[in-house]
Amino acid sequence: MYIQQAFKSLHEWWRYLVGFIIIFVASQIGTVPLIIAVLLKTVSEGGSIFSIQDQNVLMTVLDSNLTLFLMLLSFAIGLLGVYLVVKYLHNQPFVQLTTSRKKTDWGRVFFGFAVITITTLIATGIDYYSNPEDYVVQFNLVPFIILVAIAVVMIPLQTSFEEYLFRGYLMQGIGVLAKNRWLPLIITSVVFGALHLANPEVEKLGNIIMIYYIGTGFFLGIITLMDEGMELALGFHAGNNLISVLLVTADWTVFQSNSILKDVSEPSAGFDVIAPVLILYPIFLLIMAYRYKWKDWGGKLFGKVEEPIALAEENTQNSTYIE
């Protein structure tokens, strides 16, 4: 089983605490280039460094493509931190953090990617033709090509960092320590959603959008536990963010880009904010459950996590030998 993979590596509680701190520091180091670039640009134009404390102002200091790249760089550095922690602190093969299968199932990754990409394209197309006054076509070939190059490389790194940290590292770590599946599902989903509190979307739409963020965390956690691997979550998260960055932007979103469309409507926190959680995600779960023959929902989402007997005996023997 997926969480039990951690038993094959070094999994003492302090390793996860130290590992999380290292990963956090690595991701923060990744923000330094953006801060330096903004400061240099601001000072060179005679502006005040105090004016960039507001995130909305910060987003307009640099070219949007450069800003996007530098914002995503911190996630790439954070992903490197996850890899190094898993490899050297836990002595765990990275594939065991990815899946319970012998190797990563890329078919599952692409299926998760396709599900959300097709859905987003259809939904956006319907909304565009139903409410054309809400959109402005801002397609500009050269900036868009640059955006595509940046997004195709950096967005998967950003989403993979979040997946490997929450649905991977913390899911396994909390699971082997708590000896169950429901606690890591709840903690990782709530914390994942809570980290989006700083997003400008929350300020614009209100706290109701946290239902979407936390609900998305639960959805990604559920498909990880039911499928005994992160492949579907990796593909889904990457597809969601990539198509969003390339297709539609708005002045109040965290990622402002040279996308094809710009949403100029006044956003409101209506049913459409929580519709994905209440309608789309259950449909996606049914589709995935049918395709991959998921069974034993209760056991996989709420069951115990026990160390395999063979591993427990081996660890006991090793401990006795060392003493």
To the nearest whole percent, how much of the chain has pLDDT over 90? 75
Give the model's confidence band at 308: pLDDT under 50 very low, under 70 low, under 90 confident, else very high.
Answer: confident
Residue 175: is its pLDDT beyond 80? yes
In 3D, which of 244, 177, 187 has the Cα closest to residue 221?
187
Q: What is the mean pLDDT of the chain?
A: 90
Amino acid, single-letter form, for residue 13: W
Residue 303: is its pLDDT beyond 90? yes
Q: Which residue has the higher pLDDT, 255 or 211?
A: 211
Looking at residue 38, its pLDDT comes to: 85
Taking only the tens place, the pLDDT of each residue in 110-138 is 999 999 999 999 999 999 999 999 999 99
Looking at residue 318, its pLDDT comes to: 47
Give the model's confidence band at 323: pLDDT under 50 very low, under 70 low, under 90 confident, else very high.
Answer: very low
Looking at residue 118, its pLDDT comes to: 97
Looking at residue 68, its pLDDT comes to: 93
Give the model's confidence band at 49: pLDDT under 50 very low, under 70 low, under 90 confident, else very high.
Answer: low
Looking at residue 281, its pLDDT comes to: 97
Looking at residue 269, its pLDDT comes to: 73
Q: Which residue has the higher pLDDT, 44 or 311?
A: 44
Looking at residue 46, its pLDDT comes to: 64
Q: Which residue has the higher pLDDT, 38 or 9?
A: 9
Range 302-321 average pLDDT: 64
Range 84-105 average pLDDT: 96
Length of the chain: 323
Range 29-33 average pLDDT: 94
pTM of the predicted protein model:
0.91
Give the model's confidence band at 319: pLDDT under 50 very low, under 70 low, under 90 confident, else very high.
Answer: very low
Looking at residue 253, its pLDDT comes to: 85
In 3D, which of 245, 263, 255, 274 has the Cα closest to residue 199?
255
Give the model's confidence band at 170: pLDDT under 50 very low, under 70 low, under 90 confident, else very high.
Answer: very high
Taking only the tens place, the pLDDT of each residue in 209-245 is 999 999 999 999 999 999 999 999 999 999 999 999 9
Helices (H), the chain: 13-29, 32-44, 55-61, 64-84, 94-98, 106-130, 141-163, 171-178, 182-194, 200-205, 210-227, 231-247, 271-275, 281-292, 297-302, 309-322
- Interatomic CA distance for residues 262 and 201, integer angstroms: 15
Domain residue spans of the chain: 3-316
**Does an H or E element contain 261, and which?**
strand 261-263
Give the model's confidence band at 63: pLDDT under 50 very low, under 70 low, under 90 confident, else very high.
Answer: confident
Looking at residue 44, its pLDDT comes to: 76
In 3D, which of 118, 83, 114, 117 has the Cα closest to residue 98?
83
Looking at residue 320, its pLDDT comes to: 38
Residue 322: is its pLDDT beyond 50? no
Looking at residue 255, its pLDDT comes to: 81
